[in-house]
Amino acid sequence: MRPCVPITTVALETASTVPALAGACRDAFGEWEALLTRVYIAAGIKPKRAAELAVFTVASVEGAVLLSRISRSQTPLRVAGDLLATLITDAATKS
């Protein structure tokens, strides 16, 4: 497995003890969600649904990265990616 951005690790380790780091992690996740929301809206997804999908995407990818790292397998990332692609495509089609 290749190294990835350790925002989740930092957030989990410092959220209750280092407010500044927790805030920086929250901001980073927020920026990712905002970017994804804009991309999904540009793809034709309604704004409310786009924002929900952005949160779900970040949560799914972060969880899949964790599972992939501890299992030393790309399967969780592949499964999450495949399901996210289907969900996002369906949302764009229905909007």
Q: What is the pLDDT of residues 68-79, one digit of tens each?
A: 999 999 999 999
Q: At what angle do helices 19-42 and 47-71 cross, to 10 degrees?
A: 120
pLDDT, tens digit (0-9, with 9 covering 90-100), for 1-49: 455 567 888 888 888 899 999 999 999 999 999 999 999 999 999 999 9
Residue 31 in domain: yes
Residue 1 in domain: no
Residue 20 in domain: yes
Give me the sign of the Cα torsion angle 66, 71, 73, 78.
negative
pLDDT of amino acid 1:
46
Residue 2 in domain: no
pLDDT of amino acid 76:
97
pLDDT of amino acid 2:
52
Torsion over CA of 64, 43, 90 and 79, rounded to 10 degrees?
A: -20
- Entry field: residues in the chain: 95
Residue 47 in domain: yes
Residue 61 has pLDDT above 80, yes or no: yes
Distance CA 74, CA 71 (A): 8
Task: Note the Cα 49 to chain centre separation in Å.
Answer: 15
Torsion over CA of 12, 13, 19 and 24, rounded to 10 degrees?
A: -60
CATH of the domain at 48: 1.10.357.10
Looking at the structure of the chain, the number of domains it has is 1
* Domain of residue 81, residue span: 7-94
